[in-house]
Amino acid sequence: MSETVNTIRRFIFDNFLFDAGEDDLGNDDSFLEQGIIDSTGVLELVEWLEETFSISVDDEELIPENLDSVNRLAAYVARKTA
Amino acid sequence: MCGIAGYFNIQRQPETDLRLLERMIWPLRHRGPDGFGFFQDPRAGLAHARLSIIDLEGGWQPIHNEDRTLWIIFNGEIFNYPELRRELIGRGHRFATSSDTEVIIHLYEEKGENCLEELNGQFAIAIYDQGRQSLFLARDRMGIRPLFYTTHQNRLLFASEIKAIFAADPSVERAIDPLVLQEIFTFWSSAGGDTVFRGIRQLEPGCWLKLERDGTMQQQRYWEIPFQEREFARAPERELAAELRDLLIDAVRLRLRADVPVGAYLSGGLDSSAITSLIRHYTDNDLKTFSVTFSDTVYDEQREQQEMAGFLDTDHNEIRCTYATIGRAFPEVVRHTETPILRTAPTPLFLLSSLVRETGYKVVLTGEGADEILGGYDLFKEAKVRAFIAGQPDSACRPFLLKRLYPYLALSPSRSAEYARRFFNTDAPLDDPFYGHRPRWKTTAGTHVFFRDEILAAAGTPPVERLREQWAPRLAGLDYFSRAQFLESRLLLGNYLLSSQGDRMAMAHSVEGRFPFLDHRVVEFACSIPPRLRMKALNEKNILKKAVADILPPAIVRRRKQPYMAPDIPSFFGDESPQYVRYHLSERRLEETGLFKPAAVRRLLAKCEKRARQGFRENMAFVGILSTQILCDAFVENFQDDTPDTLPGKRVVINKEN
């Protein structure tokens, strides 16, 4: 789990947080509310999830409950790869 | 069509020679390569770079009225000049030329600033009253032709482009205004009369300015886009469509008046197809059409363009844009836009005008303006869907409408209805003056993470809040659809499309664009159509489609609107990545200009290199930062005056030393 969290954090920092230090992103922070991921960023995130974790994200799974924070993402990935 | 430049001394020693005017007009020679004309007296100077379109022999400027007390320079066209001329002659005016310019001066002589109400056209005008020692500047209703000015050391300097003002005097400040920079990185343009260069202002569309000898300056709006709270037209749709058709036919007919041949741009969409078809059906013109095609199929509309050209049997001309051609032309494009741009979209139009010029044409009609005034944009559709969802917030079905919004986008925000609902903030209050624009502005303002802290701090209040103070009274009482249309017409159209994508890209190659949809009679009529009929359910430009359906192939009318866009980030990376990108975005250059955070830009570059396909924010940030850096280099730091000792084609109309 913690390895997944780190991988996800690295991806978010490299791709969406152009100007932030490690402390600026809490694992429960909402990507939407913080303006971290914009409307087109979600699909970028999904493509990355599918490539990195060899999973397939269904349209019905494209909901904030699955994808909107580091911890939610990690939990979602854990469920999908279990 | 031309370039104009000039000055008005408030309290200064007169110029001893024409050098000041020569320095100002020389950088505008792309607007008027056919010669230069000058007027100067101890108070004021006027310069004109000429592109001959009407009255090829007699149309030199500046020109004067009967008793030589009024002098005018003028950039643009007055399309109803033959009618005005006849009326003026009937009232006893004597004309020395057959040009449209002379019509303005006689009309001004008679009516003062009220003369503007009678002009149907696209123009920037400067009139110097030698008797009264005053200056009058004016701009057309929608902002088709540009006019910039500044006051510097007791002198007003004005010109068609900012570079002329910088060239006038090296002591004029050349600095980026952080406030306006933030506006541009939110709205795609400045919000009002300011430009990105501190102290340089544009005369706003539909306004005039008067300057007296003692320095008193007065500015007034003489026309406003008439979106208003009012009784709308009650006629049935087919009558509205018939009336729109008649107005468009007349607007096209007037815009074909020229002493040179007139062509048309064909994008493949409804608006330019409608204009081209009207030319074909209601005039005898030979018809040359011009189109941009893209090697990247996401943006390409060649099939529709060719279908339309075939349908109307036009002499069709194309220019193909690849990532590399866009990347190569971009710095030159920015030197013409004179403002940061967040999209590469102006670039293909810069290339297209060079094609027009090569074929020997100087004038083109386009479909510009239809989306704003007749309700075509996806942003309006989005607002309508959001409002519809808000009407029944618990409906499980309504959010799925959001999925229909942007199917043509590679990275569409609407694959998931639930996400779309959050992004489009369907819970926003409908009476928010900026209801329709909030989602777009929020996405665009995501680019602010790249600004240095001191740039953000310098602006204080966020751009949207400043805009609210300025415009909330004007928007009060309007329905949300009309509010969105008004904002789109004033901001996007007036301050970005008509300049950065319009005038500047065409005039870079001495080509004049003409826009039948922006005939003020068409605009006034469009505003009288009830909002629900402008977009009926989700059918955009409903009345326009009905007005032109019988002269277009059904597929063009039915076709889903594709917004005009060009590849952004991919144009600057890959095998043919232009050298200058590394230079302008280097740590050293970013430190020197002091606007953006080098570490953040480095991360963005790394991301772009890994993968060309990016989201809205990254594309806008990259193109915006790059264009700003190019602008700083070309205008702030390394601006050069290269005026030759003798100007070719120079004609001094009058130069009085005392």
Which residues from chain A sit within 8 angstroms of residue B412, using beta carbons? 40, 43
Nearest Cα neighbor of B123 from B147, B139, B141, B102 is B139
**End-to-end Cα spacing for chain A:** 11
Q: Which one of A22, A40, A48 would you mutate to disrupt binding with B, by most B Cβ within 10 Å of its Cβ?
A: A40
Distance, CA of B209 to CA of B220 (rounded, Å): 7
Task: Confirm whether A69 is domain-assigned.
Answer: yes
pLDDT over 60 (residue B215): yes
What average pLDDT does the segment B416-442 reach?
A: 81
Residue A35, domain extent? 2-21+31-81
Q: What mean pLDDT do residues B630-653 have?
A: 90
Residue type at position A64: P
The complex's ipTM works out to 0.84
Q: Which pLDDT belongs to residue B412?
A: 53
Quick one: pLDDT band at residue B596, thresholds 50, 70, 90? Answer: very high
Segment B569-575 shows an average pLDDT of: 92
Q: Angle at which helices B438-445 and B463-475 pack, to 10 degrees? A: 160
pLDDT above 80: residue B58: no
Question: Which residues, including other chains, have CB under 8 Å from residue B200's CB and lie 6 or more apart?
Answer: B148, B149, B150, B162, B165
Å between B581 CA and nearest CA of chain A: 19
Query: Is B446 within 8 Å of A15 when comparing Cβ atoms?
Result: no
CATH number of the domain where residue A70 is located: 1.10.1200.10
Tell me: the pLDDT tens digits for B350-393? 999 999 999 999 999 999 999 999 999 999 998 998 888 888 77
Is B361:B288 a contact under the CB 8 Å cutoff?
A: yes
Question: How many angstroms away from the CA of A75 is the closest CA of chain B?
Answer: 19
How far apart are alpha carbons B356 and B288 in whole angstroms?
A: 9
Domain for residue A48, yes or no? Answer: yes
User: B325: distance to nearest CA of chain A, Å?
Assistant: 26
Q: What is the pLDDT of residues A27-76, one digit of tens each?
A: 999 998 888 887 678 878 888 999 999 999 887 788 888 999 999 999 99
Contact B617 A64 (CB under 8 A): no
Tens of pLDDT, residues B490-536? 999 999 999 999 999 999 999 999 999 999 999 999 999 999 999 99
Contact yes or no for B450 and A19 at CB 8 A: yes
- Measure the CA–CA gap between B533 and B244, rounded to whole angstroms: 13
- Give the whole-angstrom CA distance, residue B480 versus residue B463: 20
Q: Among B185, B400, B418, which would you mutate to test the A interface (most chain A Cβ atoms within 10 Å of its Cβ)?
A: B418
Contact call for A64 and B412, based on CB within 8 A: no
DSSP secondary structure code for residue B448 in this structure? G
Residue-wise pLDDT for B246-303, tens only, equals: 999 999 999 998 878 899 999 999 999 999 999 999 878 789 999 999 999 989 999 9
Residue B420 banded pLDDT, cuts 50, 70, 90: confident
- With CA atoms as reference, the chain A residue closest to B600 would be A18
Q: B534, B542 in Cβ contact below 8 A?
A: yes
Of B416, B450, B607, the CB nearest to A63: B416
Q: Decide if A62 touches B, using CB distance below 8 A.
A: yes
Distance from CA of A25 to the nearest CA of B (A): 15
* pLDDT band for position B316 (cuts 50, 70, 90): very high
Residue A26 lies in a domain: no
DSSP state of B436: T
- One-letter amino acid identity for B23? R
Give a yes or no: residue A51 inside a domain: yes
* Alpha-carbon distances of B99 from B58, B61, B79, B190, B471, rounded to whole Å: 7, 10, 11, 34, 39
Average pLDDT over residues B435-456: 93
Distance CA B312, CA B283 (A): 13
Nearest C-alpha in B relative to A68: B419
Check CB contact under 8 Å for B412 and A43: yes
Closest chain A C-alpha to B415 CA, distance in angstroms: 7
DSSP-assigned states of every residue in B221-273: E-------SSPPP-S-HHHHHHHHHHHHHHHHHHHT--SS-EEEE--SSHHHH
pTM to 2 decimal places: 0.94
Residue of B nearest to A11 (CA): B607
10 Å CB burial of residue B504 (0-12, 13-18, 19+) is buried
Question: Looking at residue B391, what is its pLDDT?
Answer: 80
Cβ neighbour number for residue B357 with a 10 Å cutoff: 16
Could you give the 3-state DSSP secondary structure of residue B473? helix
Contact yes or no for A44 and B409 at CB 8 A:
no
What architecture does CATH give domain B237-374+487-558? Answer: 3-Layer(aba) Sandwich (3.40)
Q: What is the pLDDT of residue B650?
A: 78
Model pLDDT for residues B12-51, shown as the tens digit of each residue:
999 999 999 999 999 999 999 888 999 999 999 999 998 7
Closest approach of A40 to chain B, Cα-based (Å):
5
What DSSP letter does each residue of B142-199 carry, written as one string?
Answer: S--S--EEEE-SSEEEEESSHHHHHHH-TTS---B-HHHHHHHHHHSS-SSSB-SBTT
Mean pLDDT for B444-459 is 93
Looking at the predicted structure, is the pLDDT value of residue B411 above 90?
no
The upper half-sphere exposure of residue B265, i.e. CA atoms within 13 Å in the direction of its Cβ, equals 33
pLDDT of the residue at B658: 44
Q: From residue A46, how far is each of A50, A51, A81 by CA, in Å?
A: 6, 9, 15
Q: Which residue of B has its CA nearest to A66?
A: B419
- Checking if the pLDDT of B620 tops 60, the result is yes
Using CA atoms, how far apart are residues B400 and B386, in angstroms rounded to an integer?
Answer: 11
Spell out which residues of chain B touch residue A38, defining contact as CB-CB under 8 Å: 423, 443, 446, 615-617
The chain B residues in contact with chain A (CB within 8 A) are 409, 411-413, 415-416, 418-420, 422-423, 439, 442-443, 446, 449-450, 597, 599-601, 603-604, 606-607, 614-617, 621
Tell me the domain boundaries of chain B. 2-224, 237-374+487-558, 569-637
Query: Which chain B residue is nearest to residue A39, measuring alpha carbons?
Result: B413
Out of A44, A59, A64, name the one closest to residue B422 (CB).
A64
Chain A nearest-CA distance from B186, in A, is 14
Q: Give residue B416's pLDDT.
A: 64
pLDDT in tens, B89-98: 999 999 988 8
- Interface size A-B, in CB pairs within 8 Å, comes to 69
Domain count, chain A: 1
Q: What is the CATH number of domain B2-224?
A: 3.60.20.10
Residues of B in contact with A19 (CB under 8 A): 449-450, 597, 599-600, 603
Mean pLDDT value of segment B598-615: 88
Digit-coded pLDDT (tens) for B143-155: 999 999 999 999 9
- Residue B294: predicted pLDDT: 97
User: Cβ(B266)–Cβ(B316) under 8 Å?
Assistant: yes
Closest Cβ opposite residue A40 in set B413, B422, B604: B413
With an 8 Å Cβ cutoff, are A38 and B446 in contact?
Answer: yes
Q: CA geometry: angle at B591 spanning B588 and B596, to 5°?
A: 120
In sign, the C-alpha dihedral spanning B541, B544, B546, B551 is: negative
**Could you tell me if A2 lies within 8 Å of chain B, comparing CB atoms?**
no
Would the CB atoms of B411 and A44 count as touching at under 8 Å?
yes
Q: Please, are residues B622 and B569 in contact by the beta-carbon 8 Å criterion?
A: yes
**Confidence at B163, pLDDT banded by 50, 70, 90:** very high
Tell me, what DSSP letter sits at residue B596? B
Angle at B136 between CA B130 and CA B142, to 5 degrees: 155
Q: Which residue in the set A18, A19, A32 is minimally distant from B422, CB to CB?
A: A32
pLDDT at B392 (0 to 100): 78
Predicted pLDDT of residue A54: 94
**Catalytic site residue B2?**
yes
pLDDT exceeds cutoff 80 at B57: no
Instruction: Report yes or no: B135 and B210 within 8 Å, Cβ to Cβ.
Output: yes
Residue B144 near residue B76, CB atoms below 8 Å: yes
Residue B35 · residue B50 · CB < 8 Å: yes
How far apart are the C-alpha atoms of B408 and B431, rounded to whole Å? 30
User: What residues of chain A, 9 to 48, have a C-beta less than 8 Å from chain B?
Assistant: 14-15, 18-19, 32, 35, 38-44
